[in-house]
Amino acid sequence: MAWFRRKVQVGQKLGRQIGFPTLNFLIGDFSKDHSAGVYGCEVEIRGKMYKGALYFGPRLGTGEMTLELYVMDFNQEIYGDNVRFRLLGKVRNAMTFKTLDEIHGQIEKDLEVIGV
């Protein structure tokens, strides 16, 4: 699978509120070849490899499309840094949630499937 390279953007910090801080990216050409949903992935940050879960889909509250990545065992602010990632497989399609608690529960299930 191909590697993507994205610059980390400042997000709304909702992931942080529910215990899953994410790296936020501009979508760019990602939407051209990928459908909304959650993907398992490999991530390279500053030369170190991690496992992660990437979400591409509507943002809670706004419905705007977002591209964000939860990286296992990583919790640093790296705004402006470039990150590389590659998809390992799609876990599920995008879902609609009403609360942050609902999202938290689903993220835990997604991470079990991904194995992170």
Entry pTM: 0.92
Q: Is residue 81 part of a domain?
A: yes
Q: Is residue 50 part of a domain?
A: yes
Q: Is residue 38 part of a domain?
A: yes
Q: Is residue 11 part of a domain?
A: yes
CATH classification at residue 13? 2.40.30.30
In which domain, by residue range, is 69 found? 3-110
Report which of 83, 48, 55, 88 is spatially closest to residue 69, judged by C-alpha positions. Answer: 55
DSSP 59-87: PTTT--EEEEEEETT-----TT-EEEEEE
Burial of residue 46 (CB within 10 Å: 0-12, 13-18, 19+) is exposed
Q: Is residue 116 part of a domain?
A: no
Q: What is the pLDDT of residues 28-85, one digit of tens each?
A: 888 888 999 999 999 999 999 999 999 999 987 787 899 999 999 998 989 999 999 9
Q: How many domains does the chain have?
A: 1
